[in-house]
Structure 1
Amino acid sequence: MNLEVITAEALDGIDHGFFTRKGGASSGVYAGLNCGFGSTDQSDIVAINRRRVAAAMGVDQTHLCGVHQVHSNDVVRVTAPLSGETPKADALVTNQPGLALAILTADCQPVLFADKEAGVIGAAHAGWRGAIDGILENTVDEMEALGAKRENISAIIGPSISQSAYEVGPEFLDSFLAADPENVRFFTNGQDDRYMFDLPSFGLDKLRAAGVGHAGWTRHCTYSDPDRFYSYRRSVHKKEADYGRLLSTIRL
């Protein structure tokens, strides 16, 4: 089966893709293109899936560069294929051709960045914690340190959980209001004491405040489309033992 890859017009001219779960070798709850070694899927099957992504991106699998994601605001500058212990971080940047920066998600925001003129790219994993702590702004800062101009950067949020599926409690709202009372605009009322949080809009706001030239979202909801996307929250609601991870990647 062919892989399904979502691309963004704003990143035209830069090889990139938000890969869906279609076209993979995994089965069961992981059926499709599960690229997460952190899942309990068979590691050799995950390796096959990642090789398929690498081939689609035109790189050797050793040049598919990812990090040990920990919901931080830390960014790794990549100058060569990563080897040895995977660094703990939640974003990567590079100006080196032939390196594919890769991010895993299953509801959180995968964000791909490019300054085509400067030849600098980035990829970030931005869940609510990373986004509120500055992972997106830090990625832009690190790209700028490599020669990018923030006004020339295009940043695209890929498939993420949408507001209609993201129910949170009052303590979650309180943490956002403590950071900035204006964050109330990213919440609507849910049932009883619950709220619905708009993660992609929050990410877009952060990107625009960071001064990028273009910020967009592909407008795909991971929770509501099980045929195409893995979703951590959906797996919890269905009481499944585990869930697959989607891979998003970009290279010069």
Structure 2
Amino acid sequence: MGASRLQLIRPDWPVPANIRSLVTMRTGGASQREFASMNLGGHVGDEAGSVETNRRLLAAEANLPVDRFHWLEQVHGVDVAMLNDVKPAQVPRADAAFTSQLQQACCILTADCLPVLFAASDGSSVAAAHAGWRGLAAGVLENTAKCFNEPTELLVWLGPAISQAAFEVGQEVMDAFVAQDSASAACFTPSSPEAGKWRADLYALARRRLHSLGITQVFGGDCCTYTDSDRFFSYRRDGVTGRMASVIWLDSSPENIRA
């Protein structure tokens, strides 16, 4: 076989050597039309066969069996699927996934919302969370961090999401965050205040939530899915569109990490 056509982001963060992570982009897959071409979402109206082909391509790129990828029914909530207890055929209704088992991939689908990857500093466990504004305000990052033995020892990477310049929200969004943390008002800039419109910085809001937990090793957060149409799907830009995947897994046990 020739070289892979997939374009991938390999997160640049100082995680232990046994941890693997990647983020897909929109090219290199089998999907057509508005889903062109590496759509991994099975719920967006794409041909099922194309999604299945794309998931096989992803599995080959990661050198994992297809059934080791655990997809979620994401509902903008705060529940965390514990993959240690999940059978491959199950599709948990959750917005985050956690595992301490080897070669079980936590997968998050996004097309503007913020994917957040978590890694224990000792290489013992990993997680991934889907943080749109609703889940972020409701505590999905906090719930995910609680799954780890030492939350303050976590490393976190913020994946591709819509930037503040492109993310106009209503007054209710700002109010939801400010009600919990008045200083989070700094994460909003005026768009049309007289109409109750603001531009929200998902990356900054996520960092505030993580820092409040004592998590200071936070990386990434420098993409915009809305403006970078060559690389990313964007629901807000296109309406009907595909989904990227942010994936993290333990490739080997922590004992195999070389000092």
TM-score (norm 2): 0.89
Moved runs in structure 1, 4+ residues, more than 6 A?
Answer: none
The equivalent of 2:245 in structure 1 is 247
Output the CA distance in 2 between the equivalents of 1:151 and 1:170.
Answer: 32
TM-score (norm 1): 0.91
Task: Report the number of matched residues.
Answer: 243
Does the C-alpha gap of structure 1 residues 231 and 11 become closer, same or farther in structure 2, counting only changes over 3 Å?
farther
Output the CA distance in 1 between the equivalents of 2:88 and 2:13.
Answer: 31
Letter in 2 for 1:250: I
Tell whether 2:5 aligns with 1:7.
Answer: no
Q: 1:25-64 residue pairs with structure 2 within 5 A? A: 25-64=30-69
The equivalent of 2:88 in structure 1 is 83
Letter in 2 for 1:162: S
The equivalent of 1:133 in structure 2 is 138
**Residue 227 of structure 1: how far off its partner (Å):** 1.0
Output the CA distance in 2 between the equivalents of 1:218 and 1:174.
Answer: 23
Output the CA distance in 2 between the equivalents of 1:189 and 1:183.
Answer: 14
- List alignment gaps of at least 5 residues for structure 2: 251-259
Q: Secondary structure at the match of 2:225?
A: coil
Output the CA distance in 2 between the equivalents of 1:68 and 1:90.
Answer: 7
After superposition, give the CA deviation of every residue in 1:45-65 in whole Å (9 maximum; x if it has no partner). Answer: 001111111111111110001
After superposition, give the CA deviation of every residue in 1:25-67 in whole Å (9 maximum; x if it has no partner). Answer: 1111111210000110001100111111111111111000121
Letter in 2 for 1:71: H
Output the CA distance in 2 between the equivalents of 1:211 and 1:92.
Answer: 21
Q: 1:230-241 residue pairs with structure 2 within 5 A? A: 230-236=233-239
- List alignment gaps of at least 5 residues for structure 1: 237-241
The equivalent of 1:229 in structure 2 is 232
The equivalent of 2:219 in structure 1 is 216
**Residue 143 of structure 1: how far off its partner (Å):** 2.0
Letter in 1 for 2:139: G
Tell whether 2:151 aligns with 1:153.
Answer: no
After superposition, the CA RMSD in angstroms is 1.6
Q: Secondary structure at the match of 1:88?
A: coil
Letter in 1 for 2:246: S
Output the CA distance in 2 between the equivalents of 1:81 and 1:23.
Answer: 30
After superposition, give the CA deviation of every residue in 1:182-219 in whole Å (9 maximum; x if it has no partner). Answer: 22111001135321110111011111212224112241
Percent of pairs identical after alignment?
Answer: 37
